[in-house]
Amino acid sequence: MPGSIVTVLGARPQFVKAATVSRALAAAGLRESIVHTGQHYDSAMSAVFFEELGIPAPTHHLGIGSGSHGAQTGAMLAAIERVLVESRPDAVLVYGDTNSTVAGALAAAKLQVPVAHVEAGLRSFNRRMPEELNRIATDHLSTWLFCPTATSVRNLAAEGIGAAGDRIARQVCEVGDVMFDATRHFGALAAERARVGGSLELEPGSFVLATIHRAENTDDHSRLVRIVEALRRLAEAQRVIWPVHPRTRKQLASGEAGSLGEVEAIDPVGYLDMLWLERHARVVMTDSGGVQKEAFFAGVPCVTVRDETEWVELVESGWNRIAPPDGSCDLAAVVDAATPGDPGFAPYGNGDASRRIAETLADEG
């Protein structure tokens, strides 16, 4: 079985997922060392999450930082390879769909180190998205594919992974969603320690929470203008709280996207404050995959400002609405009209995904 595991992390959602999985790996007797690629290098997007969530300090901090997809992924691949050659782990664990994910998987696979992919099988079926390409490549390189839902298992089977006739020895396991684990584990702590509600004097259920960071929205001037316009309109009748991602702030700084009006643009917040905001918002407007789920876990309706989502179950159950910022809909009106979905909907497991992942690696690796 794998005695030593190298975990590759680089972005905020991965830190959240690792918070519960790393704890479960230790409980299962597995030795873990963490490689932080530096994809999110801003303290508010990185260090605060390790501190808040009790994640073990990274053994290696690569400090890659930003760059084009090719340059960033290439730099990560070379740096991760050096770490793996030196440390010789029994397995490499990666999360989600970032450049850090695919770089870690590719470096490991080329060195014949088995790869475990948490959040395997997600598909938006839009190959214009870099995240979609990262997901597909990582899944096809992995030995253990830990799927959050039945839909993700079916997606893999449609690509021949884990299906009858698959000639590669690998395991596809539907374990549930580790972000559900994290929300359950840290929910009480967020209620106790979060400070953002008090500092902003927020009344529960009285505000719209917005998060926008994807390049397809921030780097497309017309889409960003429509998003800012919708938020500005919403803020005329209610409070709009927008923790602004560093990438988005750079685009807003020029003023070309238009005035924010009464929108309250704040610095990025830590995980506990974000959980509090999600739990107490009237509606969430986002282009983040993780925030879509966190809103659902909080029982709050969500509007996703993208052309599609990999979390198709949330749309089918009515908890999420897709509203592309391309002029095809009145974005502000969609957000204003959002209501909760099916109250009995529960596709993401029982909150024990992290334990199941750790036990699978320990017992069957």
**Active-site amino acid positions:** 213
DSSP 150: H
Of 185, 162, 161, residue with least CA distance to 16: 185
**CA gap 270, 34 in Å, rounded:** 20
**Residue 313 CA: distances (Å) to CA of 30, 76, 276, 296:** 33, 33, 24, 11
Q: Which residues contact 324 (CB under 8 A, 6 or more apart)?
A: 305, 306, 307
Q: Percentage helix, strand, coil, to 5, in the chain?
A: 45, 15, 40
Burial environment of residue 307 by CB neighbours within 10 A (0 to 12, 13 to 18, 19 or more): middle
Residue position matching structure tokens 């309250």: 264
Of 55, 53, 51, 58, residue with least CA distance to 26: 55
